[in-house]
Amino acid sequence: MLPNRKEHFMATTSQLPVSRLCFVDIARIFGIALMYYGHFIESYMKAGSAVAAMHYKFIYSFHMPLFFILSGYIAKEHVFNTGFDLYLKRHAASRLVPYVFLSTILIIPTFWNTGNTVGLELPTVEGYVKGISATFLAGVPYFNIPTWFLICLFVVEMMHYITSRFLVSNYRIILISGVFYLTGSILAWNAGILGPINILSQHGKIFPYFMIVEAFTCYSLYLVGVCLRRNNILVGIIPAYKCFLGALLCLVLLYYTYDLNKGMFVIPFYDAVILFASSHGNPILFPLTAVTGSVMIMLLAKLTTDIKVLMFLGRNTLIILGLNGVFYHFINDRLATWLLALHSDDVMIILISGIVIALVSILLTIPFIFLLHYFTPQLVGKPKLDGPLIPRLVS
Amino acid sequence: MKVISILFKGAAVLLPGITFMIYYNLRMDVQHFEPHIYTMIGGKVLVAKIKGDPDITMDTAEVTLYSAGRKLKLSPSYMSARHLKWNQRDTTPKQDWVVYYSRIVSETAIGLADIKDTAEVSIFYDRREKTEIAEILHVGRYDEIPESLEKLRQFIDKEGYRLSGFYEEVYHVFESIEPNLNEYETLLRYQVDR
């Protein structure tokens, strides 16, 4: 008999076998695939495709929240038992070091290909001064936009360190999640000066943004993941037909709700949820679609846990996420403009070309997964490993 | 002692960064009011085309675009007024000016619901391409705009560019939100090329 409610709650939920959470890796790679698709579709949208804009809106209603929910789902318990120094060091090594590395390597191609870097006049000294200082002093990854997630996750994990000792019951988790969500929403609407997109304007100023405003909202999503895991939701074996029906139900709900969220976005030309810009739209519909879509992907992942390729890719999502910057900044816009001129906004062609290009792009990252893991694992989220070039960063 | 040492080390690391940020931001404050040339990204706009004296048509445009925005559930955005020819201000009597008032919309905005043209206003969607523009921020009354335009044209000449297309005003701070005329903020833009 456990002595109290807190210990019982923690003990029954925190020591689940790792093998039971394989589906999280699968869900992550599904999320990454959606990100690749969404970023390519964004280029179609910028080239003037209304069809692509709807696909974009659908995917963006849940694909980034999914990553935060999954991060919360696999978050370690009792983090407050670790000393803050060590916690900070570990997370800086596994989040900030890859951020710096992946941002830095994408500066190099801008010397001969200026790519898609909104608000930067490249290649000029002024442009590089702004881009580099924004990346390293303000935590706004100008040269590799997708890596904003790493900065935000780092801040979210610091928030988790502070609050984790209070997360002793479902009631508390929901309450704290609600408080963070409310704070995040208020800040998103009323503290525009703290938002990183300020930098993007011609005379944008550089402050240490580090996605702090958005981290409040993202931490509330992270706690959704913590809550699901603490209550063993989706942990055990679920019959395939139940997963399928559940995912289908989520899809139907998502389909009928995602486009209701309109008219309240911060960026007028992107009618979609964009966490990077703290643009959530309707404060009720946003979390509804975010959680529904995330559960849908998690259920689909439960159906496919036996596929080894997905497992491999799912365990290397950080590299695949970081390398998306290459396609996002240097390839997608030109390719989408060229393709759109050929087929003029046909639904099926947009869908099929988007899927094919997303999959090919992911496949192209595989050699780099092996290379980076072999030579510099410490720079891509494995700071505890020794490598041929750099020793381990943390013990 | 250990804490003090950590604080000193932290300050030594952060100080150059903070100093740079302060310097950079002060410079941006100054440059904010200076003319500059850059490439403006393209996008979709909802346009209300109106002929007439802008002292009168601007109010009509504001109400039209605001109402359309509510009806079509568009996210908030600034209103701009574009003259297709940069010299319309100087060559055409005010009552004959044709001005394309617009607001940025997303690509998902496709229909106009039951919004119809009137005798004075025609409303439609348009796409604007990536364009090289010269821009200056004008702070103050609208009747002082010509002085800022003169400064902008001098800058364009000095940089070796020439006026090549439209003239546009973007209303950031205007009468609906600011009672003091001297506090109005308007971006003035010319399309340019070399």
Residue pLDDT, tens place only, A154-197? 999 999 999 999 999 999 999 999 999 999 999 998 877 788 88
Using the beta-carbon criterion (under 8 Å), do A268 and B31 form an inter-chain contact?
no
- Residue A108 pLDDT > 80: yes
- DSSP H or E stretch at residue A229: helix A212-230
Any B CB within 8 A of A128 CB? no
Q: The tokens of B12 are what?
A: 């030594």
Q: Is residue B15 domain-shared with residue B77, that is, in the same domain?
A: no
Among the partner-chain residues B17, B36, B105, the one whose CB lies closest to the CB of A268 is B105
Q: Is residue B105 domain-shared with residue B17, that is, in the same domain?
A: no
ipTM higher than threshold 0.85: yes
Nearest chain B residue to A206 by CA distance is B21
Phi, psi (degrees; rounded to nearest 5) at A82: -85, 140
- Residues of B whose CB is below 8 A from A259: 108
- Residue A311 pLDDT > 70: yes
Q: Is residue B5 domain-shared with residue B25, that is, in the same domain?
A: yes
What pLDDT, on the 0 to 100 scale, is given for residue A1? 40
- Percent of chain A exceeding pLDDT 90 equals 74
Distances (CA, A) of B3 to A28, A87, B7, B17, B51: 40, 18, 6, 21, 70
Using the beta-carbon criterion (under 8 Å), do B20 and A49 form an inter-chain contact?
no
- Residues of A whose CB is below 8 A from B127: 48
The CATH number of the domain holding residue B86 is: 3.20.80.10
What pLDDT, on the 0 to 100 scale, is given for residue A6? 53
Q: Is residue B9 domain-shared with residue B88, that is, in the same domain?
A: no
Using the beta-carbon criterion (under 8 Å), do B17 and A203 form an inter-chain contact?
no
Residue A291 pLDDT level (bands cut at 50, 70, 90): very high
Using the beta-carbon criterion (under 8 Å), do A207 and B127 form an inter-chain contact?
no
Q: Is residue B166 domain-shared with residue B77, that is, in the same domain?
A: yes
Residue B99 pLDDT level (bands cut at 50, 70, 90): very high
What is the pLDDT of chain B when averaged over all its residues? 92
Q: What is the DSSP letter of A76?
A: P
Give the three-state DSSP class for A209. coil
Counted domains in chain B: 2
The mean pLDDT of B111-124, rounded to a whole number, is 91
Q: Is residue B43 domain-shared with residue B20, that is, in the same domain?
A: no
Q: Is residue B14 domain-shared with residue B43, that is, in the same domain?
A: no
Q: Is residue B7 domain-shared with residue B87, that is, in the same domain?
A: no
A335 touches A43 (CB < 8 A): yes
What is the pLDDT of chain A when averaged over all its residues? 91
Q: Is residue B173 domain-shared with residue B161, that is, in the same domain?
A: yes
Residue B186 pLDDT level (bands cut at 50, 70, 90): very high
Q: DSSP readout, A353-371?
A: HHHHHHHHHHHHHHHHHHH
CA of A100 to nearest chain B CA: how many angstroms apart? 16
What is the per-residue pLDDT across A12-32, written as a single tens digit (0 to 9) for each?
A: 444 445 455 789 999 999 999
What pLDDT, on the 0 to 100 scale, is given for residue B8? 84
- Residues of B whose CB is below 8 A from A266: 75
- Residues of A whose CB is below 8 A from B109: 271
Among the partner-chain residues B31, B77, B127, the one whose CB lies closest to the CB of A268 is B77
The mean pLDDT of B157-183, rounded to a whole number, is 93
User: What residues make up the domain containing B105?
Assistant: 36-193
Q: DSSP readout, A96-122?
A: IHHHHHHHHHTTGGGGT---S-TT--T
Only one residue has tokens 């589906």, namely A23
List residues bridging with A8 in a β-sheet. Answer: none
- Percent of chain A exceeding pLDDT 70 equals 94
Q: Strand runs (DSSP E) across chain A, as ranges?
A: none
Q: Is residue B81 domain-shared with residue B143, that is, in the same domain?
A: yes
Using the beta-carbon criterion (under 8 Å), do B106 and A204 form an inter-chain contact?
no
What is the per-residue pLDDT across A187-227, written as a single tens digit (0 to 9) for each?
A: 998 877 788 888 888 788 899 899 999 999 999 999 999 99
- Residues of A whose CB is below 8 A from B21: 133, 137-138, 206-208
